[in-house]
Structure 1
């Protein structure tokens, strides 16, 4: 390192005019030759960018005192100060101030929107401290553009959480020194869900046959419905919205299982067409609904006796009517007719 001389003059002769130099107060970064006044570095590393105020003061100022060796020794009336100009060396890597980080952005954010501002610092001077940034890689794909100077990250596509829910970006920062120094870090972009998916039943139509004798709480159908959104936007509630006027069926509010509530009676109603809706629990005003239809055929069981419409019948016939002559038409009630038909009696 270049060195610096200080010079003090004492016009006396001999020892009375011999000057001895010292640094006072002591400075850990520099030494001085007591005879020649030559100042050198002590070997302690000089760091122009040090954040220690005391070290910064010592590196930049050296206070030198002079005293002769006469009897009595006389000290100079004032000390002298040597000011050191520390020239920059490109010895600092760029530092990311807000990375690594997980940034959250809403789904549906349009292309060209500002997503995040990357902040970077380099305490070196001039070109050594001028930092440029770039995107190294994006996983699973690069749907972003980074302004290399301002550090502002922009989207280059409309973000769809159902396609890509999270991006992992690798950022590099490098200074413009003669031998550039670089740093890398990561930025994770999490796409927050928007309620933009409709609940979908698969299948949309269910055909079920049940005997009318099935017990209460019998499982009619397990409905299969899904919503590609996340969180509350994908949480579904089920309702029967049509075809259940007599209240024979229910559907699980959360699980979509259709069950019987009371006993069925084919002779009262032999078929049902239930309309089931699944509604997501997204924000009020943006909830979405899917619909399925459950056709229920009620199968007959032998649960009714034949019933005559009247207790007794009277008819008149001639005594000589031939064998096989019809003498009376008996009538059964509706249920009796059905039962007689089932038994081949009608």
Structure 2
């Protein structure tokens, strides 16, 4: 009020001055403003804002600015000097303010869930001077909630499990729903739960959403429930919004059922030829539980013929598989067996059921049965061919006894034996040698004479027993050296003997020398009594120059009956072992070089010289033969003709068809012709289309054969001659080896 009186006073003063000096109005206004600021700075004035609570209800349709509330300062004299300005969140776009009255209006529909309140600022200034009349103030416009959002379930989908037969009130699961409405404004967000489907087995707590068991549940009746739960806001009052969700509840099994056989009596059959372990049949007991709770153990109770059969459980199908424990025989005993089977729960043996099984034995025509599963026989290796080895026996297990025939399946061992087909006696067919084959494994068959299809087999193992039929031998004959400086009875080398016979027949061996060597021996033996002997020196010192080699004969005898002996000759070389008397260098060529120094080099050189001279003589003779052959000019020519014929030698001239090679001027007296084959032609002559008539050449060959048979100076009878006709009048002369004169035939080496 004080401020308003000051303003009125100053205004009246300004009006009076304006009548006297209008020109100074503006200066007075400035002076007034300055004085007013001074008063403001020096005088404390109580002033402030006043407004009513500001609210906007959400979701209201706004077609024109809608009044929200009013802000004003107590300095406002309603004279229009105060100007109100709005700042902040949504100012100008969502909210507007009348700058004269301070009234606030909203321009559009609001959503509380999008933004629950708006923070704004207001300022009051002098409309003409722009000077703030009030300090800037902050205020809030709250958006009021309405129930426009339905509940929403979270953490979906809901899947729960609960054991069957659980007591009433057992916790199952909890459902939770939320509501976007304001929980502080009325009941818009206050929810309640109820079950629309799933009663009477389940119930739900109305506020918490916890689902519990309401009555007894049996999994064997129903193993899954779909419970529909509803959530409502406004505590379920009128106008409330709701939502639903489905909770899948799986019922877990408990072991509460005993196995149950499908029938109390079972009938099965098995053939009498069935082997142990063969399946007789299967049975099945039902258990309404699942998983491990339904696992069953089957066993045969100790009643009736319980020891004839066995039973075990198939873990996959839970069936009881009955197998044969002992062989059954239709001819020997009862043809029906009774057993009682028990099926019990694996984890609760008190849950069980029993059934009776009758098993009938079926008769079949069986093959012969050998009295033994396999046969072992022995025979010495020295027995003659046809010796008895042993017998096998088989019988017909059927009631009708039939004749049985025996035979041996062929293999490499069966060729040494034969079997008598009527009684199964086995004999030798060949001589046996234990050192070649110690064991002979043969397979014998037994077949019914009337039914050859029924055949049984048995293995027969024949061991060849050893006899002392092998003399001992040295394991290997090594290079033995003795040092020149060796002393009397000094060890030289140790030899080892082996025997192919068994040790118990031949060991131990004895080592001796022939009597004629033992009296004048350079070396002796020391028997080590372990099948080895040590060679000892029998003198002091040896000389590689005088006697570089010694030959030592050793006689090795075994301990068999009769005793067998073998004789071996050992070569002992004298070696200069050096100062340290070490024989290691002897085997590396030392002896060889010493031997070479003793004259072998000269001998080898002479031998090589002789070889060279012989080669030179052969070369000269070959050239001489060539000159002799060429003296006949072109009368005879040489050619190589290949015949794929293996006839009877020189006289089998009928197998050849070779063109004549003689010149007409050197033909000899004709002789009576022999019958000759003309169907075999020389492929070489035919290819050339040259040469005289074949008859001429055949006569020539006949004459040559007769000369060769009577003349010992010519080539041997089995010498291979190759002839071909090369034509006449060749300027180069003949290259044939046949071009020689009769005067120098004797000079040809018949073995060349």
TM-score (norm 1): 0.70
1:229 has 2:283 as partner: no
Q: Given that residues 24 and 65 in structure 1 are in contact (C-alpha distance below 8 angstroms), is that contact kept between their aligned partners in structure 2?
A: no
CA distance in 2: counterparts of 1:253 and 1:24, whole angstroms: 81
Instruction: Give 1:291's match in structure 2, choosing from 354, 364, 371.
Output: 354
* SS of corresponding position for 1:223: strand
Instruction: Give 2:124's match in structure 1, choosing from 46, 56, 66.
Output: 66
1:316 aligned partner: none
Q: Given that residues 298 and 312 in structure 2 are in contact (C-alpha distance below 8 angstroms), is that contact kept between their aligned partners in structure 1?
A: yes
CA distance in 1: counterparts of 2:176 and 2:84, whole angstroms: 52
CA distance in 2: counterparts of 1:232 and 1:152, whole angstroms: 31
Per-residue CA deviation, residues 143-199 of structure 1 (Å, 9 max, x unaligned), is: 223343443434332110000111111122222354211111111221111011112
1:209, CA displacement in angstroms?
A: 3.2
Structure 1 alignment gaps of length 5 or more = 306-337, 341-346
Cα 1:46–1:37 change in 2 (3 A) is farther
* SS of corresponding position for 2:132: coil
1:7, CA displacement in angstroms?
A: 1.7
Taking only aligned residues, the RMSD between alpha carbons, in angstroms, comes to 3.6
2:342 aligned partner: 277
Per-residue CA deviation, residues 241-279 of structure 1 (Å, 9 max, x unaligned), is: 545654544434334222325532342554433333334
Greater shift in the superposed pair: 293-302 or 185-194? 293-302
Q: Given that residues 160 and 249 in structure 2 are in contact (C-alpha distance below 8 angstroms), is that contact kept between their aligned partners in structure 1?
A: yes
1:14, CA displacement in angstroms?
A: 9.5
1:3 aligned partner: 68
Instruction: Give 1:166's match in structure 2, choosing from 206, 224, 230.
Output: 224
CA distance in 1: counterparts of 2:243 and 2:174, whole angstroms: 17
CA distance in 1: counterparts of 2:89 and 2:195, whole angstroms: 50
CA distance in 2: counterparts of 1:134 and 1:186, whole angstroms: 12
Q: Given that residues 94 and 175 in structure 1 are in contact (C-alpha distance below 8 angstroms), is that contact kept between their aligned partners in structure 2?
A: yes
Cα 1:156–1:75 change in 2 (3 A) is same
1:106 aligned partner: 163
* Mapping of residues 186-197 of structure 1, within 5 Å: 186-197=246-257
* Mapping of residues 1-346 of structure 1, within 5 Å: 1-8=66-73, 17-24=81-88, 29-43=94-108, 45-47=110-112, 49=113, 55-56=115-116, 59-71=117-129, 73-76=130-133, 78-122=135-179, 123-124=181-182, 125-138=185-198, 142-176=200-234, 177-242=237-302, 246=307, 248-254=309-315, 255-266=319-330, 267-268=332-333, 270-281=335-346, 284=347, 288-300=351-363
CA distance in 2: counterparts of 1:12 and 1:90, whole angstroms: 43
Alignment size in residue pairs: 295
1:115, CA displacement in angstroms?
A: 3.3
Q: Given that residues 199 and 225 in structure 1 are in contact (C-alpha distance below 8 angstroms), is that contact kept between their aligned partners in structure 2?
A: yes
Higher normalized contact order (CA 8 Å, seq sep 6+, divided by chain length): 1
Per-residue CA deviation, residues 73-99 of structure 1 (Å, 9 max, x unaligned), is: 323552223333443311121233455
Per-residue CA deviation, residues 227-253 of structure 1 (Å, 9 max, x unaligned), is: 111222123343445456545444343
Structure 2 alignment gaps of length 5 or more = 1-65, 369-397, 401-752
Of Structure 1 and Structure 2, the greater helix share is in 2
1:23, CA displacement in angstroms?
A: 1.6
CA distance in 1: counterparts of 2:348 and 2:277, whole angstroms: 34
* Structure having the higher Rg: 2
Q: Given that residues 272 and 296 in structure 1 are in contact (C-alpha distance below 8 angstroms), is that contact kept between their aligned partners in structure 2?
A: yes
Q: Given that residues 172 and 210 in structure 2 are in contact (C-alpha distance below 8 angstroms), is that contact kept between their aligned partners in structure 1?
A: yes
CA distance in 1: counterparts of 2:218 and 2:177, whole angstroms: 29
1:13, CA displacement in angstroms?
A: 12
* SS of corresponding position for 2:268: strand
TM-score (norm 2): 0.35
1:226, CA displacement in angstroms?
A: 1.9
CA distance in 1: counterparts of 2:208 and 2:77, whole angstroms: 65
Q: Given that residues 21 and 35 in structure 1 are in contact (C-alpha distance below 8 angstroms), is that contact kept between their aligned partners in structure 2?
A: no
Q: Given that residues 9 and 19 in structure 1 are in contact (C-alpha distance below 8 angstroms), is that contact kept between their aligned partners in structure 2?
A: no
CA distance in 2: counterparts of 1:286 and 1:264, whole angstroms: 32
CA distance in 2: counterparts of 1:179 and 1:11, whole angstroms: 46
* SS of corresponding position for 2:144: coil
Greater shift in the superposed pair: 81-90 or 178-187? 81-90
CA distance in 2: counterparts of 1:132 and 1:12, whole angstroms: 55
Q: Given that residues 136 and 170 in structure 1 are in contact (C-alpha distance below 8 angstroms), is that contact kept between their aligned partners in structure 2?
A: yes
